Amino acid sequence: MRPNVSDDVADRLEELVDEEARLPASSLTFEDRLEYLLDTFEGYRTTCGRQSDRIDHLERELEEAKREDTDDTPTVGEDRRW
3-state secondary structure the chain: CCCCCCHHHHHHHHHHHHHHCCCCHHHCCHHHHHHHHHHHHHHHHHHHHHHHHHHHHHHHHHHHHHHHHHHHCCCCCCCCCC
pLDDT band for position 56 (cuts 50, 70, 90): very high
**Arithmetic mean of pLDDT, 43-49:** 96
pLDDT of residue 77: 62
pLDDT of residue 69: 82
- At residue 50, does pLDDT exceed 70? yes
- At residue 49, does pLDDT exceed 80? yes
Whole-model pTM over 0.85: no
| Domain segments of the chain as ranges | 29-70
**Arithmetic mean of pLDDT, 39-61:** 96
